[in-house]
Structure 1
């Protein structure tokens, strides 16, 4: 009996180690997240006193949010400056901000908490060094977990008192890392390149303008999903995959859209991987999705299995990742330049 107990004592740490390894390796397998984005701008009576305007803003967003809260969501993205009415001059805006204070933030926080979801919303904030055009992220408990200050306000914005930010914002959520950007930011490569180095899972983009092809460029460059909430009713609010393709969009009838995305993915190039991808699909069948957008030479591998991650799949077949391939190409090019 003593021998058995002693053996158990020896084997138990080893068994626990294997359990921990297994849990660590499979934690990110089939990481599905349901996201909603709501576009358009608040329609309220701007001739009312600031107190009434605040109440109207809360009522407006209550109605808008009900459109996506009829089923469970993990994240809701709202538009740029979603807590301030359109069309105010500088004096009217300051009067409104003094009455509004944190009341819209508190309202959104209560919605996040009651519905166990994250909410990102655009805000004009009064800070010690002036006004900021910000994107605020609330967690599932309604707590502020991140604030991004627009790095590149437009010239008219800055002339009206909006101070530019100087830092990027990467926030760890329970489903992955998110990056925050606002409107005019989308035009500046230096900001995008900073975010790309951080490898976010999702870029959250609150804006008045759409950005067109720039949305796809950001998604592909950052190797991330991209969620845009656009404050213009003429332009759609969309969700893009890491290959820059639209996977969900609002329409001329509905100003919102929802999608369930799987963050357990890897991007790889077709070069040197053709046979390996065939073997991967042959082994895992429906447990893996290999998506080809065409014309770019890159595909997205997504694990549909809760017990094995996309990372484990590519390691098993020694499939070279997209950025690793590009870096290897740079290294080979450098060698040939030296040889010449």
Structure 2
């Protein structure tokens, strides 16, 4: 049974501000610029909007870290509350990435997932901030990474430098997310496809320009990217999907196609020997198809391969 979700990923608007106008005017400028930028995707009626890392940071020539943290303290939750109003008015989720101050006066680089009613569904603290950020501020490393439940599926959050660390993605993979939300100041290159494949999840990346925002499927195919002239991308993905290997499945997949035709989609990225299959019908789920044709999921196949290697007499002395 198809589970279509429409996702929009956005680059930030112009962050340049006139600091001489003061902190209040700076906050108002950032809200106004995001209000304008959001008009490019809200008419698409997305289920989820992903914003880039530190999306409401202002910038000006000669800006000092001390001024920026003063801005964070003054801003508080005002920009977040603006996005909460947008989420509520448009019945969508928003992944809002920004620096936040905790009650003890320390800071976190965080993604707050705002729900369709403007409520906070979950918060992720960046597990892997950079050494530079730690050495120049009161920002601390996050230590937990839990998927966030939404009405369309399970969301895992990554922020920028996080994408490089296997232990974080392996922790997420065990939780079986449906979507990885990546709020970032850089693209990550080949790591985007690798992390989508690691978690068998769709990947939604909101990136600072000039790199593109991107949406990637669980076998590493880019299904949508932003451009220079359109620094945002919206695509509809289907979360009723599964990843299977070529071995022992190819003949069965041919039989699936003969029976169900365009009601089941099979996506082969090439070179990987793994396929993404999805149900495009309201009559059955992809797991129904997996059971009917006794398809072996990729992760189950890896378990079986490891077990076979460990059987008596199978491993070289």
Class of the TM-score when normalised by the shorter of the 2 chains: over 0.9
After superposition, what is the alpha-carbon deviation per residue over 1:146-200, rounded to whole angstroms, capped at 9, x for unaligned?
1100000001110122100000030111011000010000111111111111110
Kept in 2: contact 1:223–1:243 (CA 8 A): yes
Kept in 2: contact 1:41–1:86 (CA 8 A): no
Alpha-carbon distance in 2 for matches of 1:298, 1:89: 49
Please name the residue that 2:267 is paired with: 291
Please name the residue that 1:33 is paired with: 5
Please name the residue that 1:108 is paired with: 83
Aligned partner of 1:82 among 32, 55, 61: 55
Q: List gaps (5 residues or longer) in structure 2.
A: none
After superposition, what is the alpha-carbon deviation per residue over 1:75-118, rounded to whole angstroms, capped at 9, x for unaligned?
00001011221354222123212321111011000000000000
Alpha-carbon distance in 2 for matches of 1:134, 1:217: 23
Kept in 1: contact 2:73–2:101 (CA 8 A): no
Alpha-carbon distance in 2 for matches of 1:50, 1:177: 37
Aligned partner of 2:92 among 96, 105, 117: 117
Alpha-carbon distance in 2 for matches of 1:176, 1:303: 16
Alpha-carbon distance in 2 for matches of 1:252, 1:97: 29
Aligned partner of 2:46 among 50, 55, 73: 73
Mapped pair 1:171 → 2:148: yes
Alpha-carbon distance in 1 for matches of 2:100, 2:128: 16
Alpha-carbon distance in 1 for matches of 2:107, 2:124: 13
Mapped pair 1:188 → 2:165: yes
Say which structure is richer in helix.
Answer: 1
Alpha-carbon distance in 2 for matches of 1:107, 1:124: 15
SS in 2 for 1:70: helix
Tell me how far 1:337 sits from its aligned partner.
4.1
**Greater C-alpha radius of gyration:** 1
Q: CA RMSD in A?
A: 1.3
Alpha-carbon distance in 2 for matches of 1:90, 1:190: 30
TM (norm. structure 1) is 0.89
Alpha-carbon distance in 1 for matches of 2:196, 2:151: 21
After superposition, what is the alpha-carbon deviation per residue over 1:112-148, rounded to whole angstroms, capped at 9, x for unaligned?
0000000001111111341110011000001011110
Tell me how far 1:261 sits from its aligned partner.
0.3
SS in 1 for 2:248: coil
SS in 2 for 1:151: coil
SS in 1 for 2:303: helix
Alpha-carbon distance in 2 for matches of 1:195, 1:112: 26
Mapped pair 1:273 → 2:249: yes
Alpha-carbon distance in 2 for matches of 1:250, 1:142: 27
Alignment of 1:47-62 (within 5 A): 47=19, 48-62=21-35
TM (norm. structure 2) is 0.95
Please name the residue that 2:213 is paired with: 237
Alpha-carbon distance in 2 for matches of 1:170, 1:46: 38
SS in 1 for 2:88: helix
Aligned partner of 1:63 among 25, 36, 44: 36
Mapped pair 1:205 → 2:182: yes
